[in-house]
Structure 1
């Protein structure tokens, strides 16, 4: 008796599950050197071919994925903690401070010690500003149309929403809905449902998504459908690493909103990503922070 080959949808679903397992493993073992054979076991794919499949789907090698995520975490450590450099560079997977400094400078445009003191996050710093001085940044009031999204939900630290984006990319790639280099044209958005000042980090709710062109776009697990309200938004364009975003949010809420005479609407804030971290250095990342207004 002949056995029919698996359907295309079943094959695609299998790759989605495999890539999702690999993404979860990478994030859980970010302190460890990526071993391609171990990752092949996690993916349950041939060690001879799985990495080529990953690179075709994600547009970068898994080694570069791990390197990018480690440097992103290091930038967050420099921005948001007092962790000593002696603790940061081994965690980033480098054998010496000099090697880490070279790699960080290549990615972020300045050495780590200088980045901590004068990185782009300091543009929004208010604590040491002279009395009566308030730096201003461009905020545009825009009327945005409602939008439908295909999203992967994320629970936990907002700094780790990248895990949901990796799953999103893997799902789209496995389903032939994503071509290499297409990321920026997909209108990638992050939706942030929880207030990080009042909700424990482990309970924060967010989602990584893309705008869908029409109702015929296939949305099947792990993808879910989400809607963004139409209406007026305060839009702050941020240039620089994602690790800098907290300072931009603090300024937008603590300075601009309270002085603007406007009120935030009962809807989530979202981020509109205008380019792709796989294709441009962190210093060139462009993000529109979109705050809904009444």
Structure 2
């Protein structure tokens, strides 16, 4: 991990993730990295343990697997959006990656369940603290880590927190001017645990950034409609809460957008873990008869 942190691939990651549905060339990414194509590819492959082509292909297939799980879109439509000209070619690649055909995968992992009045909520969630809100795009400065969500040390203890706090000092800002954001880029039921990407960041609002440290990246969080849950309690329980929301709570009337959920830590440095509050944002296509409440992440 220390060896990986010496190399800044943030501009490359940002470009791949922004244009994942489009053709991405080696020379194009090498330009963003400031390396020659040959040297860049060697660095990238050593970092990720897979070639650039395999990395992009895996991300596309994992994104399609999430669509199979969370939507009822036709498989052919998902195949075309993944970059395959035919269902046959997509099925062959998908089965090689996941050991199942797309149809078999959908039958195994799709869990469309109605929202029942007697559904038992986790202790950290309350039925009257679920909202739908439309938000605007906003940008964050972030640090990326790889590995299981369960192994994330938390905001106070982690090296990522120190890097972000140093950044706040370097831009002569104040901690209260920023909101702390966590983005779970991968579904642990789809992505292998050691390849999972988690981004910890702070909102940057209208800050004029003339130079970005190599230890940080900048990314835009997409706006739109979100289903929001307020979680009260220790951050270590969040993976279980996510699993409950995605696999038990989300009913038929909600269609998740194929974007990563994110979380806002409203009091990240609260010493009492039981008093920590986290707002969980899940991107959705359609509204329902839920309360609206302003829990706005778009702060400086």
Provide TM-score, normalisation by structure 1: 0.50
Q: Which has the higher helix share?
A: 1
